[in-house]
Amino acid sequence: MYKILLSVFMVFLVACKQKPAPTGKINPNIQNNKTNQHVNIPGTRLYIIPPASFTLSQSPAGLQKSGNAAITVTDLVGGNYYTNAANFNKAGFDQRGIKTFDFQEIKVNGYPAKYVSLQGDANARMYWLVFGDTTFSTMVMGVYPETDATTGKEILSALNTIYYDKNYKIDPFASAAFSIDDSRSTFKFFHYTTNMYVYTINGQDNKDDPDAPFLVLTQMPVEKGMSAKNVGDMMLSKLEGYGLTNTTIKNGSSEKINGYDAYEAEVHGQMHGKPSIMYQCVIANGDNVISMQGVAKTNFDENLAAFKGLAHTIKIK
């Protein structure tokens, strides 16, 4: 049930007057052996040789370069490439008015893949590469200023070095920009996927119990200058996306938590026809945000206290 809180990072693209795409091509059969030049993107099973001017980034996971250029990696272990990439095609981009420079179905380490080069917004170019099988779905996205063709070539060259190790055991906290202490909480760490950390009672799998309480912690980047309350208000304005209806927001607070800019609120309402409560806590630190949502359908007071107790142990690295 916690999947309803999975953060989906949407990229809104617009068509505009185009300039020629940078030269360079994606390898139609990306097949590499791991070398000592390859680095693992924290929180993923993907390795890549970074361009000289790029450094590792934790949130979002990937590589970054000053000047609004980056390579981000989303590795959905347990996802299904065929389902996730079903609508990833040139016709779909064309229907949305998005200019594509190149679209190919290729291979990455033997896995089926789709690649597209396109216009991001009026000032950005993008490469998208999606690959996987029935057990995982990985998306690699490169973005750079359209006036910086050199960086575009560096990103494309890096994509051609990708190595994916399906047997690599991900350290879920390797890319965490925070630490949290669940040693005294009834909620323990259960599962990790794509910057989302799930905590359940005693860390147990509750997929067969739709009424079981859980807390989801997500780390994500935001524009500099946004406060915790700004982010909290934005998320609370889209409560229906969490499956909550007939909602009332109570006990909103902007008091600091462990010295960090914070915003907390309780949302009372219904989820799938049952009385429910959602605890919302947002911690802002620089251009990173930690968002926590705890959902309970029973024992409201007890679970709310447990959600708050766990949230208040957070520390930013």
Tens-level pLDDT at each residue, the chain (317 residues): 444 343 333 333 333 333 334 446 899 999 999 999 999 998 899 999 999 989 988 767 899 998 689 999 999 888 899 999 998 988 888 888 888 999 999 999 999 999 999 987 778 899 999 999 999 999 999 999 989 999 999 999 999 999 999 999 988 887 788 999 999 999 999 988 877 899 999 999 988 898 999 999 998 877 777 899 998 888 888 777 777 888 999 999 999 999 999 999 999 999 888 999 999 999 998 777 899 999 999 999 999 999 999 999 999 88
Q: Cα–Cα distances in Å, from 131 out to 88, 124, 154, 216, 233?
A: 11, 23, 21, 26, 35
Q: What's residue 60's pLDDT?
A: 78
Instruction: Report how far residue 294's alpha carbon sits from residue 277's, in angstroms, rounded to the nearest whole number.
Output: 8
Q: What pLDDT is recorded for position 12? A: 30
CA separation for the pair 133, 108 (Å, rounded) = 11
Distance CA 203, CA 190 (A): 5
Q: Is 187 exposed, middle or buried (0-12, 13-18, 19+ CB in 10 A)?
A: buried
Find out whether the peptide bond into 20 is cis, omega within 30 degrees of 0.
no
d(CA 243, CA 15): 33
Give the pLDDT confidence score for residue 67 in this predicted structure: 67
Q: 3-state class of 12 per DSSP?
A: coil
CA distance 161 to 181: 38
Structural domains in the chain, CATH included, are 2-164 (3.40.1000.10), 178-316 (3.40.1000.10)
Tell me what pLDDT residue 24 has: 66
